[in-house]
Amino acid sequence: MSESSTILYSTEQDIAVLLLNRPEKRNAISRELLSSLHDSILKAKKDNKIRSLVLGGIGPSFCAGADLKERTTMSKKEVTQFLENLKKCFLELENFPYPTIAALDGDAFGGGLELALCCDFIFLKNDIRIGLTETRLGIIPGGGGTQRLSRRIGIAKAKEMIFTGKTIDASTALNFGLANSIWHDSSLPAAKMLAEEIAAHSAPIALQLAKKAITEGYGQDIQTALKTESKYYNETLNTEDRLEALQAFQEKRKPIFKGK
């Protein structure tokens, strides 16, 4: 395991595990944490062995959002630059080539929930609370929350959460479609288990192209979306992995994918 002062980075077989590491500050997003998180995502992206990414937090909170104590020392120009850096980092996570899973074993508010929303899957511990609470601080979500939340749970529920600034429990999050599953102990082992399952059974290139097809096709009209799907499907036809899967089927064995 390698670590900065604010991010713990490790790999477990084909999985990159990133853990926010400011438990004494409830893993609030400072400039240092943001920079380390961005660097860690890029590190995982450049590692050819990685097939999925799991994001979690050390301590009782997943992430309390922006570091408001640090924010009070920042000029308006510095705040604007911080938000630009935040958006770049979050986009890197959202556009990570392989599946990403956020494992929330503690509360996530504001930017903390916005961070989780960049992941493909969100797992929750059963006793936590989450919310976009910015309107109660005189601002609005600035890390993509107004856009990603509405795309995940629908505009009506997103408005309800953002306009009221209230937090919701894990069960409500699951009912809203915000979370994929709830776990009574830690959600981190379950997230790793899913990541391992994906990595063990799916062809790497197929994973990348499936993610692109879903992401790009969402929101398009159906005819355009089907063309998007066909474009990426056709790319899989030229891969060695596809031929290996067919050969393995004939030989009644597990395919050995090489990402080619």
Supply the residues annotated as catalytic: 66, 111, 114, 134
- For 238, the token pair is 């030229």
CB-based contacts of 90: which residues, under 8 Å, 6+ apart? Answer: 114, 115, 118, 143, 144
**Can you list the positions of beta strands (E) in the chain?**
2-3, 7-12, 15-20, 52-57, 61-63, 100-104, 107-109, 121-125, 129-131, 168-169, 181-183
- For 134, the token pair is 């910015």
Sheet arrangement for strand 129-131: 61-63, 107-109, 129-131, 168-169
- For 54, the token pair is 């799991």
Contact 41, 18 (CB under 8 A): yes
